């Protein structure tokens, strides 16, 4: 009693092609596990254009959409399903702001990202997107 309720959540995290290419996978998984999140799904693969366009569907009309789809399909990504207390906003906090110039010190994007486009990681921004994106990237039996 007297403690705020903490919601156990699942979220979708991704190491983008720039992060994989630069050999940051182990470092980022270490950060995730040190934080205490459980990795309940994990796979490395090259995203199809169809999946990329679906995943980023909300940005379809934006000027950067074509470039974003080209980038995200340019090499392997690591798709990660995370579980933990308040994991959705917690993982977004660990990533930092979209534009690394605005990302707080110590966040992943402040430490590693080179531009707004190539910013190393993705994280769902709400319970609805987490459910939608986990469903796009993982079959139910792939989540342990």
* Binding-site positions for ATP: 16, 64, 92, 98, 109, 119
Quick one: DSSP state of residue 7? Answer: -
What gap in Å lies between CA 76 and CA 94, rounded to an integer?
Answer: 22
Contact pattern for ligand UDP over residues 9 through 48, marking x by CB under 6 A:
----------------------------------------
CB of 34 vs ligand UDP, minimal distance in Å: 22
CB-based burial, 92-113: b 16+ in 10 Å, e otherwise:
bebbbbeebeebeeebbbbebb
What gap in Å lies between CA 50 and CA 34, rounded to an integer?
Answer: 34
Active site residues: 122
Q: Which is nearer to ligand UDP, 101 or 144 (by Cβ)? A: 101
- List residues near ligand UDP by CB under 6 A: 64, 68, 98, 116-117, 119, 122, 125
């Amino acid at each position: 009693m007297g403690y705020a309720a903490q919601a156990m959540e699942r979220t979708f995290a991704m190491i983008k092609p720039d992060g994989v290419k630069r050999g940051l996978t182990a470092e980022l998984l270490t950060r995730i596990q040190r934080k205490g999140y459980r990795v309940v799904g994990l796979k490395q693969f090259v995203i199809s254009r169809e999946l990329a366009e679906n995943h980023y569907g909300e940005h379809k009309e934006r000027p950067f959409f074509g470039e974003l789809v080209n980038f995200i399909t340019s090499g392997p990504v690591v798709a990660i399903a995370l579980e933990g207390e308040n994991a959705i906003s917690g993982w977004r906090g660990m990533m930092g702001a979209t534009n690394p110039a605005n990302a707080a010190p110590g966040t992943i994007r402040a430490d590693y990202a080179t531009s707004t486009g190539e910013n190393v990681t993705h994280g769902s921004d709400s319970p609805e997107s987490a459910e939608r994106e986990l469903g796009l990237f993982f079959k139910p039996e792939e989540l342990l």
